[in-house]
């Protein structure tokens, strides 16, 4: 069985690449998906395709709705949803995705550093795993898919 894993959240570090690279090394049968991570394209897709808006609210609204075609479809098809919270920004879309996935009954893996532990307690409480690094996430996927755990012979 191939697993679909959606990678939501922070778009300013290379955590998705690190996950995909390590998963490739482990030859995991996983198809990763994600939001569009090109920041400007993600902001402007609505007006660029459907016409400019004078009001910034509708500029943003059009883009966010076009992005939702992608994100809701991919979250809906995911077997596992991973959400990473970075150091900066409000990242409310990340928390929104976590809530959305939780209500759909998707297994959640949350990644964040220790500084955000208290602020993310409600999100963490809905997760089946709380990791600090992308590498841990791949180890979890390797375990839940293949039963492999370093130091434990198969």
Residues 6+ apart with CB under 8 A from 55: none
Subset of residues 42 to 81 that bind a second copy, contact rule: CB under 8 A: 44-46, 48-50, 53-58, 60-70, 72-74, 77, 79-80
CB of 142 to a second copy, least distance (A): 9
Taking CB under 8 A as the rule, does residue 12 contact a second copy? Answer: no
Which residues inside 91-120 make contact with a second copy, applying CB under 8 A? Answer: 91-105, 107, 109, 116-120
Cβ(45)–Cβ(73) below 8 Å: no
With contacts defined by CB under 8 A, how many residues of the chain interact with a second copy? 87
Q: Tell me the H-state helices in 79-125.
A: 92-103, 121-125
* Alpha-carbon span 128 to 138, nearest angstrom: 14
Is 126 a binding residue for a second copy by CB under 8 A? The answer is yes
């Amino acid at each position: 069985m191939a697993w679909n894993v959606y990678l939501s959240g922070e778009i300013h570090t290379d955590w998705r690449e690190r996950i995909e690279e390590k998963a490739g090394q482990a030859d995991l049968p996983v198809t990763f998906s994600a939001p569009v991570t090109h920041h400007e394209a993600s902001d402007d897709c609505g007006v660029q395709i459907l016409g400019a808006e004078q009001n910034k609210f509708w500029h943003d609204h059009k883009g966010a709705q076009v992005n939702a075609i992608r994100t809701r479809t991919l979250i809906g098809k995911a077997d596992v949803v991973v959400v990473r919270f970075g150091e900066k920004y409000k990242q409310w879309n990340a928390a929104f995705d976590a809530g959305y996935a939780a209500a759909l009954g998707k297994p959640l893996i949350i990644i964040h550093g220790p500084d955000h532990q208290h602020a993310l307690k409600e999100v963490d409480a809905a997760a089946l795993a709380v990791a600090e690094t992308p590498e841990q996430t791949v180890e979890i996927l390797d375990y839940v898919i293949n039963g492999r755990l370093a130091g434990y012979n198969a």
